[in-house]
Structure 1
Amino acid sequence: MEVKEWTYEELPEFTQEVEGAQVIATTGDEMCAVYIPNVEYAQIDGVKLHLQILIPSTRNQPEMICPCVVFVQGSAWMPQDVYAQIPRVSRLAERGYVVAVVEYRHSGIAPFPAQIMDARNAIRFLRVNAQQYHIDPEQIIVSGDSSGGHTAMFAGMIHDDVENNLFPGVSAEVKGIVNYYGSTSVMAEDSNPTQLLHCQADSPEGMVMGHVDLRNNMELKRKLSVECNITEDSVIPPTIILHGTKDCVVNCEGSAILYRQMKKCGKNVKLYLIKGANHGGPEFWTKEVLDIVDGFMKDCLHV
């Protein structure tokens, strides 16, 4: 074979018979995820915020245009390990979604609703740069786990954050919400069953509301709790909620409360209870659950 700079199409395929070798057929449509780390999407008061971006790719379509899942990594609103869920969310990328994991300003530097504003600005950044990251800008879903599920719910629900828009004229609207065991409510005393500081100033929820003791501040508790901000007039995209029935960190009842309020107000919502699952874990990333989430998102995106 001649030595030169062959293109893939030009290179002759190896076709020799090799005794004992097995040939595995391929189609060229097998999908993998290309990882682009630490993409800066905003800088606010000197704080740089980043995205971890996973882009689907195949041999036949190395630069295909895909829907996007904007995934907010949970952290009890504290500093995030934005790499923690990359091995798992890469499974969504392998199903044809660009996945962008969002870093938000944590509660030590910015109180609620800064986290929601950051998520919405991340969505806007991805719309502005859709071509670079192979995204269909009209096909975006917001998702998240734990406090990230809380952030994702609000990011999909609010529509009046004009003052916080870092990309004027660019929409942060999404087609659906995927909420993994979100810490969506602090109204019940056992909303965080293993937390002794529930609603005190040093609790995660107290810190994100400005290091405030919430036990005697019903107004702030309601402001932070997603279900308290949903009425029949609320405009909320289709939503799916997934929660483990033995969650030691965020009581599964909070998702049930949210689900009931959304149903009461006529919203498009589905709740899946993952039997025996704790706060996250492999039970949320089985083929069965991935099929449910994938099917839900395809319905939202009409693909």
Structure 2
Amino acid sequence: MEVFVMEVKEWSYEEYPSFDEPIDGVERIPTTGDEKGAYIFSNVEYARIDETTLHLQIIVPRTRNTTDSDETYPCIVYVQGSAWLKQNINSKLGVLSRLVEKGYVIAVVEYRHSGIAPFPAQAIDTRNAIRFMKIHADEYKADSTKMFVAGDSSGGHSAFFSQLVKEDSNENIYPEVDANVKGIISMYGALSIMFEDGMPSTLNHHQPDSPEGMEMGGVDLRNNPDLCRKMSVECNINEDTPLPPILMFHGTKDRTVNPKISVVVYKLLKKYNKNVKLYMLEGADHGGSEFFTERILDIIEEFIQSNISD
């Protein structure tokens, strides 16, 4: 039997010979090179503030045909929620990859949790993450002119405030770059702490050891209405507040963040003639796969595509 010995060298894909020898009982499955996938750059450092190092999990679209291409994609800086406590930063990488496969770069933000720094540290960290992705767009196939910010639960809160908090010069580690985006996406965002029933399952609501109390520095918010207003989206917007288009989702049976919070914010945004759309997911609780169905991903994609050229 003749044995062919292949030359050992740095082969390019184009010149490498295909193994086409017919083998009895072996089925050959054709491929195109356009099969969609995603690649994760893990633990990319984007900031170091007060001895705390912060990372991004950056997911990029990948196919065989685009691995070495110069193609770029709109980028979503996504803030993983955690009740402002320490995040499980990898918890949604799987479902977020579904959106990446549609042609989007996603950078998942690790923020300084409330045990390290109080509000608005998380929004400032999100702003620095946006700036980092703009600066390093080429490395991760992102289009720096097509940036969006998104988040779930407390991450939705940080996403909103990343576009409301502007006075962050002391912790802006990329002063030459702005943190503006083309749109905000809030998934069941914890956008307000103004309501007694705003967090229906938080028994220590507004107390110093509650998530929102810790977020404001371990304060008893029952006696600090000004701090409640400072941390609530609807108390920090008016008709002159510059905001990009906004897309919101909330479950009708959310036991963690009362769905009426998104409704209150939505109604106020509408009152001030802001570009906003709210979808209520019937029967959905706080998070879950209901928020990443093909229908929801299509809505997100339509939102992004309709705003990238504005």
Pairwise same-fold verdict (TM > 0.5) = yes
Q: CA deviation at 1:246?
A: 0.7
Given that residues 156 and 176 in structure 1 are in contact (C-alpha distance below 8 angstroms), is that contact kept between their aligned partners in structure 2? no
CA distance in 2, matches of 1:162, 1:139: 24
- Answer yes or no: is 1:77 the counterpart of 2:84: yes
CA distance in 1, matches of 2:42, 2:290: 26
Query: Between Structure 1 and Structure 2, how many residues are aligned?
Result: 303
Q: Secondary structure at the match of 1:137?
A: strand
Q: CA deviation at 1:29?
A: 2.1
- Answer yes or no: is 1:7 the counterpart of 2:7: no
CA distance in 2, matches of 1:122, 1:265: 29
Cα distance, 1:292–1:212 mapped onto 2, change above 3 Å: same
- Answer yes or no: is 1:42 the counterpart of 2:72: no
What corresponds to 1:30 in structure 2? 35
CA distance in 2, matches of 1:139, 1:158: 20
Which deviations, in whole Å up to 9, do the C-alpha atoms of 1:12-71 show, x marking residues without a partner? 334455666655443322221111111111111111111111111111111432211100
Q: CA deviation at 1:252?
A: 0.7
Cα distance, 1:12–1:121 mapped onto 2, change above 3 Å: same
Q: Percent identity?
A: 52
Q: CA deviation at 1:271?
A: 0.3
Which deviations, in whole Å up to 9, do the C-alpha atoms of 1:237-261 show, x marking residues without a partner? 1110011111111111101111101
CA distance in 1, matches of 2:135, 2:5: 45
**What letter matches 2:136 in structure 1?**
N
What is the RMSD of the two structures over their aligned residues, measured on CA atoms?
A: 1.7
Q: CA deviation at 1:165?
A: 1.3
Q: Return the match for 1:227 from 234, 252, 270.
A: 234
CA distance in 2, matches of 1:29, 1:301: 24
**What letter matches 2:98 in structure 1?**
R
- Answer yes or no: is 1:172 the counterpart of 2:172: no
Alignment map for 1:1-303 (pairs within 5 Å):
3-4=6-7, 5=9, 6-15=11-20, 23-62=28-67, 63=69, 64-302=71-309
Q: Secondary structure at the match of 1:127?
A: helix
Question: Which consecutive unaligned segments of at least 5 residues does structure 2 have?
Answer: none
CA distance in 2, matches of 1:244, 1:24: 42
Q: Secondary structure at the match of 2:94?
A: helix
CA distance in 2, matches of 1:281, 1:140: 25
Question: Which consecutive unaligned segments of at least 5 residues does structure 1 have?
Answer: none
Given that residues 181 and 241 in structure 1 are in contact (C-alpha distance below 8 angstroms), is that contact kept between their aligned partners in structure 2? yes
Given that residues 124 and 165 in structure 2 are in contact (C-alpha distance below 8 angstroms), is that contact kept between their aligned partners in structure 1? no
CA distance in 1, matches of 2:255, 2:94: 23
Q: TM-score, normalised by structure 2?
A: 0.93
**What letter matches 2:13 in structure 1?**
Y
Which deviations, in whole Å up to 9, do the C-alpha atoms of 1:167-203 show, x marking residues without a partner? 1211111111111100001111111011111111111
Q: Secondary structure at the match of 2:220?
A: coil
Given that residues 164 and 236 in structure 2 are in contact (C-alpha distance below 8 angstroms), is that contact kept between their aligned partners in structure 1? no
Select between 27-36 and 275-284 the one with higher mean Cα deviation.
27-36
Q: TM-score, normalised by structure 1?
A: 0.95
